[in-house]
Amino acid sequence: MRIKWFGHAAFLLTADDGTRIITDPYVPGSFSGAVRYGPIRDEAAFVTVSHHHQDHDGVGRLRGKPVVFEKSGAHRAGAVAVRGVDSCHDEAGGAQRGPNVIFVFASGGLRVCHLGDLGHVPSEQAKAIGRVDVLLAPVGGTFTIGPRRAHRTAELLGAKVVIPMHYKTEKLGFEVAGVEEFVRGRENVKHVGACEVEVTADSLPASPEVWVLKHAL
């Protein structure tokens, strides 16, 4: 599977059969201009939305007419089995920021998990999520889990690769932490130097690693 990071929580996942899925597309310029990532021009047949905030639900700005997955349960996207798992945007059962749906994508023996705007360590959801090979995890804190809880979540789910997202960059005006806090003091970090990587079940590292991508937009 190829994984391309547009920025924030938006990725393009491309399966071996060519199925393309976009996760949590943002609305450029939303939140009074705080979201400064550029428009997403890539097309995909499917899109997942973890919750309906403008930095995660810009479906109306995408090209084409993708099928939208926004609820928990089993879904199908070409050769990719998709499962949504209910969770919360905060540690108060959603009372502060509402619900959040975690999505797991399984194809070719590989399982990729996108946490959306997860606001708590998903201890109760771990069984439903299942094995995780690649974890797309928010690490900026404030509105989501921060560095410490992101590492705890990765360990809980047994992720072989963690790709951080939803953190402070020059294109994001939110008061959240940068990726530096997530990787500080850790030796298992790879700065990929590109916006996309290709990973298969056979190419997973023997021990857990953090892969830091560059945002495409």
Full set of structural domains in the chain with CATH:
2-212 (3.60.15.10)
H/E stretch holding 75 reads strand 73-77
Q: What pLDDT sits at residue 17?
A: 94
pLDDT tens, N- to C-terminus, the chain (217 residues)? 999 999 999 999 999 999 999 999 999 999 999 999 999 999 999 999 999 999 999 999 999 999 999 999 999 999 999 999 999 987 778 767 779 999 999 999 999 999 999 999 999 999 999 999 999 999 999 999 999 999 999 999 999 999 999 999 999 999 999 999 999 999 999 999 999 999 999 999 999 999 999 999 9
Which tokens belong to 136? 């797309």
- Burial letters 174-204, b for 16+ CB under 10 A, else e: bebbbbebbbeeeeebeeeeebbbebeeeeb
Distance, C-alpha 141 to centroid of its chain: 14
Pairwise CA distance, residues 65 & 157, whole Å: 33
So what's the pLDDT on residue 92?
A: 73
Beta bridge partners of 172: 35
What's the pLDDT score for residue 25?
A: 98
β-pair type (209-212, 161-165): parallel
Q: In this predicted structure, what is the pLDDT of residue 90?
A: 72
Report the alpha-carbon distance of residue 80 to residue 68 in Å, rounded: 14
* Predicted local confidence at residue 102, as pLDDT: 98
Residue 65 burial (C-beta neighbours within 10 Å; 0-12, 13-18, 19+): exposed
